Amino acid sequence: MAASDTDALLIEAGAGVGVGSEPDRRRVIFARLAVLLVFLGLWQLVVAIGLVDAFWISTPALIVQELWHLLENGALVSDVAVTIYEALVAFVVSSALGIICGLLLARSPFWDDVLAPFVLALNSLPRVALAPLIILWFGIGVMAKVVTAFTLVFFILLVNTLGGAKNVDNDIITIARLMGASERDILWKVTFPSALPWIFTGLNLGLTYSLLGVIVAEILASNHGLGYLIAASAASFNTAGVFAGLITLAVVAWLFSLIMRKVEARLLRWKPSLTSA
Amino acid sequence: MPEIDTISQPPAKIRLADVGIVFRPRDREPVVAVRDFTFDVPEGSIVTIVGPSGCGKSTILNIVSGLMPPSRGKVEVDGRPVTGIRHDVGYMFARDGMMPWRTAIENVAFGLEVRGIANRNEIAREWLRKVGLDRFEGHYRHELSQGMRQRVAVARTFAIEPNILLMDEPFGALDSQTRLLLQELFLDVWERNKRTVLFVTHDLHEAIFLSDVVIVSTNRPGRVKSMVPIALPRPRLPPAELAVAPEFRDIYARIWGDLKDEVRKFV
């Protein structure tokens, strides 16, 4: 954020700032790999010299074996597919409803005022505690997972969208109105794009929480998905299986946030901080 | 029924008669912002209100645009009373009001877009060219200097071919050199279509350079203290040259004489 608005002029449009120099990047990646290898080496070592039993912490080699085994028999692919499917359905439905409700509340200060304490109360409740009730109501299928995630993600998007929509520059609204914009134009051409950075903050968070809700519900009651894989492995004292599930989960979460950031950078390319990042 | 003027006078495009504006803040004494304000803006002319800060200048623009009703008196545009938000006005503020999520050309096209005009991009591009920003049509707000943003605002304001223009210190936030250039640019664009303009500023040079008539407002509550016709030939000289002309200095001295007492009360 060193470049001021006027400095930005000196940079030809579209051309990235490109300050990060090449050799530095390569050294960082190399160092990261080194950290990872040292960690894995130590892990393998403490078990090999008998400091800790493989029963408790498994070993990198055992986990790779387990991953390979799960890939071969197809269990991993189907569990990942189930979890991703549930998380994405929950994410899309909850985000869409959260954004719509946020925009609606922003238009009606009366209902915003009426509902504010309820939103606050529900949003402060540790929603994971609702999971047993939700499982009771919706069983162990996809629905229970989606609803559990919904209770988390919906409020995140609602609160963020509302915050963004209330923060619209009044000058812009006045000018738009004087130029003949209808209320509908104001909503979709002013309020929504203006709130988009806030909405994306909510979406980034929402995707993580969507996965969290789904995994918790899977761990509690399920016969599919990564949460089930982790819970079932732990129940049968298969630590390698637990770690295999956790690592796969980490990769899924990382991919999710990677895609999200790409979409965000594309849609918010008008933001100064993102164009130079 | 509006009274008909004598035939020799041009028709009033904007007319204020005995306008009073009172603000009634909750739990506090009402504030009389403007009292007995009466003036006409003839079709195709530029009338500027100058006055000390807080004399209700901006409020007058708000009631002409229909953003707020006057507490008393009459406000008419084209002989008809203003009853609600008008969609035929071009409004400019000191802040540029650019939408940061739209490029320069998309900002200029906004008013045309909400009016459903099909060739809005060609029109917007033409206006960007007229304000000298044709090379910057794809730039976002943060990629433009303050002067360029205000030029986008000028293009956006003219692009919808407004019936009247309301200008609330539009160049007030610019550095003094940029301001001179933008004043010249504005007048240059204005010369081509001669829209009716009601302008508000506390920059006397700006007021004299642009206007056909300068209205000096008193301190709060704002009333018309004097109306000074600016009989300088159009098209006007560039502001820097005009400022040293003897006739300019006479007018300046006269307006400043009226304004000084009002500002002094305030300081």
Looking at residue A3, what is its pLDDT? 40
| Residues B104-129, mean pLDDT to the nearest whole number | 95
| pLDDT exceeds cutoff 50 at A42 | yes
Q: For position B267, what pLDDT does the model report?
A: 66
CB-based contact, B89 to chain A, within 8 Å: yes
At B212 the three-state DSSP class reads: coil
Q: Which CATH superfamily is domain A54-276 in?
A: MetI-like (1.10.3720.10)
Closest CB from B86, B110, B138 relative to A176: B110
Is B91 within 8 Å of A175 when comparing Cβ atoms?
Answer: yes
Question: What is the rounded distance in angstroms from the CA atom of residue A232 to the CA atom of residue A194?
Answer: 46
Condensed to tens digits (0 to 9), the pLDDT of residues A173-184 reads: 999 999 999 999
Q: What angle do CA B45, B95, B214 make, to 5 degrees?
A: 25
Q: Please give the average per-residue pLDDT across A50-66, as a whole number.
A: 93
Test B114 with A185 for CB contact under 8 angstroms. yes
Residue A4 has pLDDT above 50, yes or no: no
Where is pLDDT greater, at B250 or B266?
Answer: B250
User: Which of A11, A169, A179 is the best mutation test for B, with the most CBs of B within 10 A?
Assistant: A179
Q: Give the per-residue pLDDT at B27.
A: 85
Contacts of B101 in chain A (CB under 8 A): 193-194, 196, 270
Q: What percent of chain A has pLDDT over 90?
A: 81
pLDDT at position A261 over 80: yes
At A273 the pLDDT is: 67
The pLDDT of residue B196: 95
Given a cut of 50, whether residue B88 has pLDDT beyond it is: yes
**CB distance B77 to B13 below 8 Å:** yes
Probe site for chain A from B101, B117, B175 (most A CB atoms < 10 A): B101
Average pLDDT of B225-248? 91
Helix pair angle (A192-220, A131-138), 10° resolution: 80
What's the pLDDT score for residue B9? Answer: 60
Identify the three-state secondary structure at position B160. Answer: coil
- What is each CA distance from B236 to B42, B179, B208, B241, in whole angstroms? 19, 16, 10, 10
pLDDT band with cut points at 50, 70 and 90 for residue A11? very low
Residues 13-52 of A with CB under 8 A from B: 13
pTM of the model: 0.81
Band of the pLDDT at B29, cuts 50, 70, 90?
Answer: confident
| Rounded Cα distance, A144 and B36, in Å | 69
Q: For residue range A95-154, list pLDDT tens digits in order.
A: 999 999 999 999 899 999 999 999 999 989 998 899 999 999 999 899 999 999 999 999
pLDDT tier at A16, thresholds 50, 70, 90: very low
From chain A residues 177-216, the ones with a CB under 8 A of any chain B CB are 177-182, 185, 189-190, 193-194, 196
Q: What angle do CA B256, B258, B261 make, to 5 degrees?
A: 95
Buried b (16+ CB within 10 A) or exposed e, A137-176: ebebebbbbbbbbbbbbbbbbbbbbbbbbeebeeebbbbb
pLDDT above 90 for A255: yes
Count other C-beta atoms under 10 Å from residue A232's C-beta. 17
B89 with A178: Cβ contact below 8 A = yes
| B5 pLDDT more than 60 | no
Average pLDDT over residues B175-195: 91
How does DSSP assign A213-273, residue by residue?
Answer: HHHHHHHHS-SSHHHHHHHHHHHTT-HHHHHHHHHHHHHHHHHHHHHHHHHHHHHTTTSHH
pLDDT at A5: 44
pLDDT at B139: 96
B129 to each of A9, B93, B148, B152, how far by Cα in Å?
18, 22, 12, 10
Q: Does B176 touch chain A (CB under 8 A)?
A: no
How much is the pLDDT for B229? 94
Structural domain boundaries in chain A: 1-52, 54-276
* Cα gap A271→A259, rounded to integer Å: 18
